[in-house]
Amino acid sequence: MAKLPNVFSLRHLLVLSLALNVSFILRLLFEGEEGHDHCSCLRKERRAKIARADSNTETGEQSIKESRVAVSSSTSSLANSTCKDHPGGRNRVINLDHGDPTMYERFWRQTGEKTTITIHGWQSMSYFSDASNICWFLEAEFAKEVVRLHRVVGNAVTEGHHVVVGTGSSQLFLAALYALSPPDALQPISVVCASPYYSSYPSMTDYLKSGLYKWGGDAESFDSRDGPYIELVTSPNNPDGHVRRSMVNRSHGVLVHDLAYYWPQYTPISSPADHDLMLFTVSKTTGHAGMRIGWKQLRIVVKHSGLFSLPKFSPAFCSFFNQVSEPQPAFVWLKCEGNVEDCEGFLREHNILTRSGRHFGVSPKYVRVSMLDTDENFVHFLDRLSAIKSQ
């Protein structure tokens, strides 16, 4: 018993040490660069706005449609900030290589306690959840919410379909390849997708080297007479945002529809998708007007630069918004015009990180630019593109 005070002292010391380290790391992340970064005031402004939004419970009562209009003001206000003109701003690296839906943070903060989920200790104790479900375990309430969400949005038929969940759509993608591959085939089944295709498809397909399946390349050049195949149909497509359909004769093949971006904030919902196997992802579900405003700022900048071009999309009727709307993809499929052959390298010279078209099976004159970043970074991106013209 005499050693107990020492044990408690050590425990308190460890807790204090952990708290100090966490505090130090958080300070580095949120305050460490202030005074040196030319846009520290934008970060302060953004945190202040979030704090005000947290205290505004009325905003949390707005619907998804209303939030599209409310949040758009943040982009325009940041665009008018003087921070972007601070000396030395051109040295800042803008990383738009990958998609990270941090732009949704403000929306979720505004909803407040409405989004709090309570998991009771007596829940999820069994290995099994529902005898009628093909999964060993699936939270019944979560499955009901998934079905309800698709019914409200109208982007997928759920009747007659099973709900299977995974840690991200990449896990479900690999599970689908395994389930659809013939176990006794002499050769691995080919996995194909029309270019430009999602850049991770080839690496994910060949990563495990299972011998059951292999990456087969561009679906448009694939000959179905070579045997069975799995075709990936990404719609709206990543990276170019266009609506896609299968390209190969289905006599010997099966389809996997990747519908990660088939939500009304990215593309008009024309009808509920009804395919044998459909992949959706929660991280792409909730959007707001920042994307719509961002695309209109962006098109103006690109038009006046004369150095780049963007895909053109046709407006279509969206059943969710009950009006005609234009696609607002989560990624920009940007092309460098003129003599620039390596668009990724060209933009890197201006401290803009993107992903080259060669990763998507097409020319390096194209790059994919993420639209899922914060308003602050997106405004800096527009300013940088405008500055390239003047240089």
Statement: residue 192 has pLDDT above 50: yes
Mean pLDDT confidence for 333-350: 95
Mean pLDDT confidence for 211-228: 90
Task: Specify the number of domains making up the chain.
Answer: 1
Top-confidence range, 30-34, 55-59, 223-227, 314-318: 314-318
Give the per-residue pLDDT at 340.
93
Q: CA angle, 280 as apex, 370 and 164 as ends, to 5°?
A: 145
- Residue 72 inside a domain? The answer is no
pLDDT in tens, 25-73: 334 333 333 333 434 444 444 445 444 444 443 443 333 333 333 333 3
Quote the domain boundaries for residue 252: 140-284
Statement: residue 274 has pLDDT above 50: yes
**C-alpha–C-alpha distance, residues 146 and 158, integer Å:** 9
Statement: residue 3 has pLDDT above 90: no
- Residue 386 inside a domain? The answer is no
> Are 288 and 263 contacting, i.e. CB atoms less than 8 angstroms apart?
no
pLDDT in tens, 102-128: 777 777 888 888 888 888 888 777 777
Give the per-residue pLDDT at 170.
86
Give the per-residue pLDDT at 106.
77
Give the per-residue pLDDT at 197.
96
- What phi and psi, each to the nearest 5 degrees, are found at residue 325? -140, 165
Q: How far apart, in Å, are the Cα atoms of 210 and each of 172, 205, 214, 230, 277?
A: 16, 9, 9, 15, 22
Residues 6+ apart with CB under 8 A from 143: 130, 133, 163
**C-alpha–C-alpha distance, residues 155 and 274, integer Å:** 9
pTM for this model (two decimals): 0.71
Give the per-residue pLDDT at 361.
95
User: Which CATH number goes with the domain that contains 255?
Assistant: 3.40.640.10
- Residue 253 inside a domain? The answer is yes
Statement: residue 317 has pLDDT above 80: yes
Statement: residue 88 has pLDDT above 90: no
Pairing of strands 308-309, 331-336: antiparallel
Q: Which residue has the higher pLDDT, 233 or 18?
A: 233
- Residue 166 inside a domain? The answer is yes
> Are 74 and 294 contacting, i.e. CB atoms less than 8 angstroms apart?
no
Q: Which residue has the higher pLDDT, 366 or 108?
A: 366
- Residue 274 inside a domain? The answer is yes
Top-confidence range, 13-27, 133-147, 197-211: 197-211
**C-alpha–C-alpha distance, residues 332 and 14, integer Å:** 47
Statement: residue 78 has pLDDT above 60: no
> Are 107 and 71 contacting, i.e. CB atoms less than 8 angstroms apart?
yes
Mean pLDDT confidence for 228-256: 91
pLDDT in tens, 150-183: 999 999 999 999 888 888 788 899 999 999 999 8
- Residue 127 inside a domain? The answer is no
- Residue 165 inside a domain? The answer is yes
Side-chain half-sphere CA neighbours of 169 within 13 A:
19
Give the per-residue pLDDT at 90.
67
% of the chain surpassing 90 pLDDT: 42
Give the per-residue pLDDT at 165.
85
DSSP class per residue in 126-160? SS-S-TTSSSS---HHHHHHHHHHHHHHT-B--TT
- Residue 205 inside a domain? The answer is yes
Looking at this protein, which amino acid is placed at residue 63?
S
Cis check: omega of the bond before 182, within 30 degrees of 0: no
